[in-house]
Amino acid sequence: MNYERLNTLITLYYTGEINVSELNELRLMMKSDELPEELEYDKKIILGLEQTANIDVEDLDMSSELEAMIDAQIETEHKRRKLKWLKPLSIAASVLVIIAFSIFYNQPVKDQHIAQLEDTYKTPEEAHRAAMQILGFVGDQLSSGQKHLENINQIGQALQPVNNALSNCQKGIKQIKKILE
């Protein structure tokens, strides 16, 4: 093997001045078993690039994936621009809420009856009498409501013979259906 020619071809390859016939000659020399060990690294580079040169780029069809990645990046940028105002606006809203709360909280109460609860009755006996009077009224109202329910009970008792007659009619209709079948 002509090592001087091999070194010249390697130099031409790395400088980009190699032509097609010289490139084919270099590839054949690199595939040789007589290649010195110090050129193994160059062999991996040159033959590795040769393998990648044989890949058809059109077969990869990465355009749709690339477009999807670009679209996702654009959308992310749009979201960042929109969210850029979100933080200052939320801070401003929080400050306004705090200011409004402090204004309304620190205002004096105009009606002292709302601020301080007072007893309605002066003595517990008065409160007890008033409670008994209200409970008596509620009991009377419940009693009068139950009196109206007694009328409904009487209507139910009056309809009992009608219900018995209808029940007998239904039994008769069932017997007639059995006979007709």
Mean pLDDT by 10 residues, the chain (181 residues): 87 90 88 84 82 58 76 81 75 89 73 58 88 90 75 79 87 87 76
Tell me if 145 is assigned to some domain. no
Residue 30: inside a domain: yes
Residue 158 falls within a domain, yes or no? no
Say what the pTM is.
0.31
Which tokens belong to 163? Answer: 């219900």
State how far the Cα of 72 lies from the Cα of 161, in Å rounded to an integer: 82
In-domain check, residue 66? no
Quick one: the chain helix, strand, coil %, rounded to 5?
80, 0, 20
**Is 42 in contact with 12 (CB distance < 8 Å)?**
no
Do the domain assignments include residue 87? Answer: no
What is the rounded radius of gyration, in angstroms, for the C-alpha atoms of the chain? 51
Classify 19 as helix, strand or coil. coil
pLDDT of residue 108: 65
pLDDT value of position 8: 92
pLDDT at 150: 72
Nearest to 3 by CA among 28, 31, 35, 27: 35
Q: Kindly state whether residue 45 falls inside one of the protein's structural domains.
A: yes
- Structural domain including 15 reads 3-56
The answer as to whether 36 is a domain residue is: yes
106: tokens are 């620190």
Give the model's pLDDT for residue 110.
Answer: 60
Say how many domains are in the chain.
Answer: 1
Residue 22 maps to a domain: yes
pLDDT at position 2 is 85
